[in-house]
Amino acid sequence: MPPVSGRPPARTARAPDVYDSSMPDRQVVVPSADAATIERLLAGDEATFMMLVDQNQPAMVRLAQMYVSSHAVAEEVVQEAWIGILKGLPSFEGRSSLRTWMYKIVTNVAKTRGVREGRSLPFSALAGEHDDPVDPSWFQGPDDPFPGGWRTFPDDWRGIPEDRLLGRETLDHISRALDGMPPMQAEVVRLRDVQGWSSDEVCNALDLTETNQRVLLHRGRSRIRRDLDAYLSEGRDR
Amino acid sequence: MSEQGLTCQEVIELLSSYIEGGLTVDDRRRVDEHLALCDGCTTYLEQMRETIRLSGMVTEEQVPEDEKTALLAAFRDWRS
């Protein structure tokens, strides 16, 4: 592949710094989009800063909220984190993506604040929800012909018109499902599936192991699927 | 289906990892074998993929104006 102009060749200069060689596509240099963003911020470009705020502020406040006692404190934490981010920009090394690094700073500030408030770990955020997004009664029991097999096959969504699938109401169901999830689970799904982050970035930003991240993501997706299925199958013949 | 084949209930718990390419070669093969024979799980997999696609259409909430104003002030302060 020809080199992309203006971008140093990947995986050469700083290869020894790679701390997870099992991830072949990990960036070992500051990705060009991040580098451009940092350059503009350092030059004092307010539009770039406000774009970052628009993209990240709601998620950052939710993230901080997992560690501290109130929404107001979470906002303070994020404000403090932004100042830390700006001050740290000149020394950003690009060992992770810019946004991952930013969220780590939020997590660190929030944790420190949470400890000061006498809160330790976000147990509530990590707790499992009470309802299982996969209902065991969908499957045949031990005395049935095919234990663990479907009792009734799930609905095929392929016949559903695109404008219904993408309608406001469908998307509202997804938002409501996210709002009903334990906070960490919701945040994993929001970052992965709503915002399109990689699992690597999410693990780093939220301080989760790969296994935890995957479990939370799967449960979250399963719950959205269940809620969507209930909505989409309304008024359909089965 | 062979004795050691996965049940539908087991397969659907592996589908996020399957989609992510996060399964071991062995598990992936077992899921593929199951899917090849099971319309129910194939439909469920399609639903999971569709769930991911539709989630990508959800828009993030708006940042309140007072928070924006405070942050812009912090940015100007940092520059000076």
Mean pLDDT of B39-52: 97
Residue A237 banded pLDDT, cuts 50, 70, 90: low
The answer, yes or no, to whether residue A238 has pLDDT greater than 50, is no
Contact: B44, A154; criterion CB under 8 Å: yes
Q: What integer pLDDT is reported at residue B64 of this predicted model?
A: 92
CB A173 within 8 A of CB A227: yes
Check the CA dihedral A194-A196-A197-A199 and report its sign. positive
CA A179 to mean position of chain CA atoms:
14
Rg over alpha carbons for chain A, rounded to the nearest Å, is 22
Provide mean pLDDT across the span A164-185: 94
Weakest-pLDDT range from A31-45, A124-138, A175-189: A124-138
Taking only residues 93 to 112 of chain A, the set having a beta carbon closer than 8 angstroms to any beta carbon of chain B reads none
Residue A23 pLDDT class (50, 70, 90 cuts): very low
Question: How high is the pLDDT of residue A120?
Answer: 59
Nearest Cβ partner for B52 among A87, A149, A221: A221
Which pair of structure tokens corresponds to residue A234? 């309304």
One-letter amino acid for residue A91 of the chain: S
Provide the percentage of residues in chain A whose pLDDT is more than 90: 68
Taking an 8 Å cut-off on Cβ atoms, the answer to whether B58 and A178 are in contact is: yes
Dist CA A103 CA A70 (whole Å): 19
CA dihedral for A188, A191, A192, A198, sign (positive or negative): negative
| Beta-bridge partners for A139 | A150
Mean pLDDT value across residues A107-112: 93
Q: CB distance from B49 to chain A under 8 Å?
A: no
Confidence band of A130 (pLDDT split at 50, 70, 90): low
Name the closest residue on chain A to residue B19, using Cα atoms.
Answer: A218
pLDDT-wise least confident of A15-19, A121-125, A138-142: A15-19
Q: What is the mean pLDDT of residues A155-176?
A: 93
Task: Please answer yes or no on whether A134 and B13 come within 8 Å at the CB atom.
Answer: yes
Q: Is A128 in CB contact (< 8 Å) with chain B?
A: no
CB A41 within 8 A of CB B70: no
Distance (Å, rounded) from C-alpha A102 to C-alpha A84? 9
* Alpha-carbon span B72 to B77, nearest angstrom: 8
Set of chain A residues whose Cβ sits within 8 Å of the Cβ of B58? 171, 174-175, 178, 194
Nearest-CA distance B64 → chain A (Å): 9
Q: How far apart are CA A9 and CA A7, in angstroms?
A: 6
Q: Could you give the CA distance from residue B50 to residue B48 in angstroms, rounded to a whole number? A: 5
- Does the pLDDT of residue A207 top 70, yes or no? yes
pTM of the shown model: 0.82
**Separation between Cα atoms, residue A15 and residue A231, nearest integer Å:** 49
Average pLDDT over residues A177-200: 94
Classify A9 as helix, strand or coil: coil
Q: What is the pLDDT of residue A11?
A: 41
Model ipTM value: 0.90
pLDDT at residue A125, rounded to an integer: 54
Neighboring chain B residues of A190 at a CB cutoff of 8 Å:
60
The strand pairing partners of A150, in sequence order, are: A139
Give mean pLDDT, residues A19-46: 72
Tell whether B37 lies on the interface with A, counting CB pairs under 8 A.
no
CB A59 within 8 A of CB B60: yes
Kindly determine whether residue A154 and residue B71, on different chains, have CB atoms separated by under 8 Å. Answer: no
Spatial contact of A73 and A117, defined as CB atoms under 8 Å apart: yes
Cβ atoms of residues B20 and A225 within 8 Å = no
Tell me the pLDDT band of B3, cut-offs 50, 70 and 90: very low
Q: Which band of pLDDT confidence, cut at 50, 70 and 90, is reported for residue A77? A: very high
* Region at A120 (left for phi over 0; alpha for psi -120 to 50; beta for the rest): alpha
Of A139, A195, A221, the CB nearest to B8: A139
The residue type found at B80 is: S
User: Which of B46, B47, B68 to substitute to test the interface with A, most A CBs within 10 Å?
Assistant: B47
Neighbouring CB atoms inside 10 A of A15's CB total 10
The whole-angstrom separation of Cα A209 and Cα A200 is 9
Answer with the residue of higher pLDDT: B53 or B61: B53
CA angle A27, A28, A31 (to 5 degrees): 55
- pLDDT of B60 reads 83
Interface probe with A: pick from B2, B7, B8, most Cβ of A within 10 Å: B8
Per-residue tokens: A73: 């404190």
A–B interface: beta-carbon pairs under 8 A: 129
A116 confidence band (pLDDT: 50, 70, 90): confident
- Which pLDDT tens digit goes with each residue over B62-75? 999 999 999 999 99
